[in-house]
Each structure stands twice: as C-alpha cells, then as structure tokens.
Amino acid sequence: MKTLEQRLSEIKIVPVIAINDVAHALPLAKVLVENGLPCAEVTFRTEAAAESIRIMRDAYPELLIGAGTVLTTEQVDIAMDAGVDFIVSPGFNPTTVKYCQQRNIQIVPGVNNPSLVEQAMEMGLRTLKFFPAEPSGGVGMLKALTAVYPVSFMPTGGVSPSNVEEYLAIKAVVACGGTWMVPTDMMDKGDWEGIAALVRELN
C-alpha cells in the first residue's frame, strides 16, 4: 500500500478544482484518468463538492481524491463520507488537524512561515501545503524552509506552467497544486477536449 506522499510524488501535479455543477464530476474524472493525471483536489468552495467527490469515487476507485479548502470538522466528516483519500486546508488549524488524526485521515494543512511549520511538526505532520506559494515568497521562501525543516511540501497558490518546474526541482516538494489545467470556465462550457489537451501537456 503506497503512502499519500508516494502517490503524490508519482503524480507531481495535483489539479485543484472548483466544481460548480455535479454533472461535471463524471466527465472530469474521465478526462483526468484517461489523460494520465489520476488525481483531483476538489475544493469545498462550491455546493457541488461533496456529491461530485462521491460520483468520482464511485466511477473511478483508483482516482486519488482530496477535499480542498476544508475549514471545519463538519466538512471533514462530509468529505470522508463522500470517499476522499486526504484532506487539504488553506491554513493550519490545530482543531481540524487533531480531528483528522482522530478519524485516521491524512490532512495536508497550509503553512507559509517557520512558526507554522514547527507547530505542524509538533503535531506529527510531515507533509504540508505551502500556501499561498507565490505571495508568500515563492521558490526562494520554500528553499529557505526546506533547508531547515525535514518535511515535504505541496506548493499551491500562484503555481503555473511558467514556474512549476522550479518548484518541482526542490527535493522536498512532493507535488504542486494548480488550477490551470482544469479551468472552471472550460468546465462550465463542457470543453472536455480542451481540458484533456491541457492535462496531456503535463505528461
């Protein structure tokens, strides 16, 4: 059984997706799996998130699915009931972290400075989200953090085709989160072939 870190390091790019319509969940999952990116971080910023995750999980059991923008313990419950593999939060909330640990699901919380990294390590966490990556100092800040702390990072926030390789070149980066390969406006138009082309560019 591969760890979450191993699976993320194989995938390298995690599409961060805001799904507005549950009808988009199945074709989106199909595009991701068939074009070599079997992973999705579905953000809880939309009403369709939980049901979309459930549909994707049922159709593609092999898909690595995270719930993103999880802010409360209630959302952890909803995400787990829908079938997620891991939880992602934009910030470091000890209450949410403890709850995920109690429920035995891995959480990748957001941090962007030394103090937060140390608080996360104190709670036993070793894989963290560097967020928002670019506004927080980007590659330079991340290199400074990885020089000091024995943890892995998933940078998200401002990561794009122009800088993703710089982030991935940092040894402690297991994967990068990004939105560019699954634009919400293309999903809303049903442009699945266009999204497929963007996903294929990552391979």
Could you tell me the residue range of the domain that residue 50 belongs to?
4-198
Residue 168 lies in a domain: yes
Average pLDDT over residues 73-93: 98
Residue 203 lies in a domain: no
What is the pLDDT, as a whole number, of residue 120? 98
Q: Give 88-122 pLDDT, tens digit per residue.
A: 999 999 999 999 999 999 999 999 999 999 999 99
Q: What are phi and psi of 21, to 5 degrees?
A: -140, 125
- How many structural domains comprise the chain? 1
Residue 117 lies in a domain: yes
CB atoms within 10 A of CB 116: 16
Instruction: Read off the CATH number of the domain in which 92 is found.
Output: 3.20.20.70
Residue 145 lies in a domain: yes
**Residue 1 pLDDT > 80:** no
What is the pLDDT, as a whole number, of residue 145? 98
Residue 75 lies in a domain: yes
Q: Annotated active-site positions, please?
A: 41, 129
Q: Is the peptide bond preceding residue 132 cis, with omega within 30 degrees of 0? A: yes
Is the C-alpha dihedral spanning 15, 53, 39, 9 positive or negative? positive
Residue 134 lies in a domain: yes
Average pLDDT over residues 41-67: 98
What is the pLDDT, as a whole number, of residue 190? 96
- Structure tokens belonging to residue 129: 């989200």
d(CA 156, CA 175) in angstroms, rounded, equals 9
What is the pLDDT, as a whole number, of residue 203? 81
Average pLDDT over residues 122-145: 98
Residue 169 lies in a domain: yes
Residue 139 lies in a domain: yes
